[in-house]
């Protein structure tokens, strides 16, 4: 699930890989919405499907050329599909190899510590052991095994919402036009107590088809309700009545960082809007870093896991708001997460792609990609013809990274390039903290 505004929706469609399926919208009418796919199954779908031909082109005079043209188009489409399938097969093979390596590692650890013999020879009486190295292998959001537990989690959240004043009854919200659509929800412009707001309405089928849907929804709302920072999206309240009234009400923001930097629409080679001044772009980077510094400074720390320009919004004064906590999770100081391939391929850290244990430094990697995107004004990897899955694979196997800026009018190019390079380093331990990043960017803006 993702807390976003309307501009995010098209980006979700391009990056996440979604399929259309009939759903019920919040007004009860039947329409077309997006149903989430498994991450692996979304690999092929998330690849680019090419451009749409103009309908204003005058038809050729010789109609016998049309079949040839159509045939050539079909051949090109089939060739594209074959390439996508090859990339998908390559990614699946690499994932299988990494899974096998990790299982061998687990068996070796079990054998070295005497666990394996206990498991094999004394299954019934084997005690529970806890490793000194904490590796949390649960998926996100936390898994709750029974519907009763789901209901209990939601009930406690409703009590918390009422006590803290952010519980919203559905009749208080007046929905207007739909302004966006994601894989699990639709976004509406709305009015709540005379205030313009954005309302994320979860699809009812999300809860019917996902046994952990209530927990997922409750975790995102609870996570957002804790945040109090100038550069983090503000929760106004929530309607906590799934499956038909699971609504997240936030401040209304109409522009994403992606649209501000690249202009509206999908990814393209050439710019359609003027590149903002470098100092303004660096200011956006600083505000993102400050927001992430706040999130990582919590106890337990909150990692975002899907940081990208379409999940960062701008207010009327063009200050940032980090949004979309659908993939976020809390980690204690020494805890590592083990939920592979969480996020968006282009901005995903190598250790996440490889399904290895990771921590908050995965957000630093994503920030490094965003920082370079802000400086160059280019979409990441625009100089290649790779799809998202191929990009993720090459980032791991060949240390592929976006093209660094060649010429910057700002005076501290060397220090800026160094910050980008260490932020997206393949070794997570080398990446700086957001505290360090914030200090560096402040100094660059002063000089």
Indicate if the pLDDT at residue 188 is higher than 90. yes
34 is in an annotated binding site: no
CA 289 and chain centroid, separation: 17
Q: Count structural domains, the chain.
A: 3
Question: In the chain, how long is the greatest CA-to-CA distance?
Answer: 83
Confidence bin at 78 (pLDDT 50/70/90): confident
Q: Which residue has the tokens 């929760």?
A: 235
Q: What is the DSSP letter of 23?
A: E
401: left (phi over 0), alpha (psi -120 to 50) or beta: beta
Query: How far is it, in rounded angstroms, from Cα 274 to Cα 272?
Result: 7
Closest CA to 34 of 189, 200, 206, 258: 206
- The answer to whether residue 191 is domain-embedded is yes
Shared domain check, 259 and 231? no
Q: What is the CATH number of the domain that holds 144?
A: 3.30.200.20
Give domain status of residue 171, yes or no.
Answer: yes
Q: What is the DSSP letter of 167?
A: B
Model-level pTM?
0.69
User: Tell me, what CATH number does 292's domain have?
Assistant: 1.10.510.10
Same domain, 403 and 415: yes
Same domain, 33 and 87: no
- Do 279 and 170 fall into the same domain? no
Whether residues 320 and 436 share a domain: the answer is yes
> Which residues have a catalytic role annotated?
306
What's the chain's average pLDDT?
A: 78
398 shares its domain with 317 = yes
Last residue of a domain, one of 212, 232, 251: 251
Is 295 among the domain residues?
Answer: yes
Phi, psi angle pair for 324, to nearest 5°: 65, 85
Q: What single-letter DSSP state applies at residue 380?
A: T
What is the band of 358 on the pLDDT scale with cuts at 50, 70, 90? very high
**Residue 24: predicted pLDDT:** 45
Is residue 135 domain-resident? no
Q: Is the peptide bond before 141 cis (omega within 30 degrees of 0)?
A: yes
Query: Based on the number of CB atoms within 10 Å of its own CB, is 50 exposed (0-12), middle (13-18) or buried (19 or more)?
Result: exposed
365, part of any domain? yes
Residue 126 lies in a domain: no
Quote the CA–CA distance of 285 and 262 in Å, as a whole number: 15
Whether 423 and 279 map to the same domain: the answer is yes
Closest by CA to 194, choosing from 166, 236, 149, 134, is: 236
Q: Does 18 lie in the same domain as 166? A: yes
Lowest-confidence region among 127-141, 239-253, 330-344, 347-361: 127-141
Residues 328 and 234 in one domain: no
d(CA 372, CA 425): 13
DSSP class of 416: H
Q: Characterize the bridge pairing of strands 173-181 and 185-192.
A: antiparallel
Same-domain status, 425 and 279: yes
Q: In this structure, are 189 and 304 located in the same domain?
A: no
Which one of 217, 233, 251 terminates a domain?
Answer: 251
In a domain, 117, yes or no: no
Residue 418: band (very low, low, confident or very high) from pLDDT cuts 50, 70, 90? very high
Cα(360)–Cα(337) distance, integer angstroms: 9
Q: What is the mean pLDDT of residues 249-269?
A: 89
Q: Is residue 122 part of a domain?
A: no
Structure tokens at 387: 């799809």
DSSP 232: B
pLDDT tens-digit map of 299-352: 889 999 999 999 999 999 999 999 988 888 888 877 887 666 678 999 999 999
Provide the pLDDT confidence category of residue 35 given band limits of 50, 70 and 90.
very low
Domain endpoint, select from 59, 93, 112: 112
Whole-number pLDDT of residue 5: 45
Provide the residue range defining the domain that includes 92.
69-112
Predicted pLDDT of residue 112: 66
Is there a single domain that holds both residue 376 and residue 432? yes
């Amino acid at each position: 699930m993702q807390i976003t505004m309307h501009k995010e929706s098209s980006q979700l469609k391009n990056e996440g890989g979604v399929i259309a399926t009939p759903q019920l919208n919040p007004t009860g009418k039947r329409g077309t919405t997006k149903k989430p796919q498994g991450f692996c199954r979304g690999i092929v779908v998330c690849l680019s499907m090419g451009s749409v031909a103009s309908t204003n082109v005058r038809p050729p005079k010789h109609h016998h050329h049309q079949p040839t043209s159509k045939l050539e188009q079909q051949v090109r489409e089939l060739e594209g599909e074959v390439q996508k399938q090859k990339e998908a097969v390559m990614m699946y093979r690499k994932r299988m190899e990494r899974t096998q390596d990790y299982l061998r590692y687990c068996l070796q650890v079990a054998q070295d510590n005497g666990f394996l013999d206990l498991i094999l020879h004394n299954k019934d009486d084997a005690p529970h052991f806890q490793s000194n190295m904490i590796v949390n292998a649960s998926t996100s959001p936390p898994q709750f095994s029974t519907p009763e537990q789901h209901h209990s989690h939601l009930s406690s959240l409703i009590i918390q919402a009422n006590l803290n004043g952010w519980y919203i009854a559905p009749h208080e919200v007046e929905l207007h036009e739909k302004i966006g659509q994601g894989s699990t929800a639709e976004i509406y412009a709305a009015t709540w107590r005379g205030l313009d707001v954005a309302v994320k309405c979860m699809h009812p089928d999300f809860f019917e088809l996902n046994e952990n849907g209530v927990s997922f929804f409750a975790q995102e709302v609870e996570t957002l309700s804790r945040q109090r920072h100038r550069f983090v999206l503000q929760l106004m309240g929530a309607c906590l009545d799934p499956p038909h009234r699971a609504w997240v009400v936030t401040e209304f923001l109409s522009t994403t960082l992606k649209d501000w930097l690249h202009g509206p629409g999908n990814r393209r080679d050439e710019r359609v809007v003027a590149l903002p001044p470098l100092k303004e772009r660096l200011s956006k980077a600083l505000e993102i870093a400050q927001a992430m510094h706040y999130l990582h400074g919590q106890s337990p720390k909150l990692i975002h896991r899907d940081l990208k320009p379409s999940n960062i919004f701008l207010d009327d004064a063009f200050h940032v708001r980090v949004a979309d906590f659908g993939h976020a999770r809390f980690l204690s100081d020494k805890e590592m997460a083990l939920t592979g391939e969480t996020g968006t391929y282009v901005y995903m850290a190598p250790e996440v792609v490889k399904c290895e244990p990771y921590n908050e430094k995965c957000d630093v990697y994503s920030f490094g990609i965003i920082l370079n995107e802000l400086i160059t004004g280019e979409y990441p990897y625009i100089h290649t013809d790779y799809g998202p899955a191929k990009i993720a694979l090459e980032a791991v196997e060949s240390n592929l990274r976006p093209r660094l800026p060649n010429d910057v009018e700002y005076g501290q190019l060397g220090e800026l390039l160094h910050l980008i390079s260490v932020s997206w380093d393949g070794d997570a331990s080398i990446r700086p903290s957001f505290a360090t990043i914030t200090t560096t960017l402040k100094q660059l803006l002063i000089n």
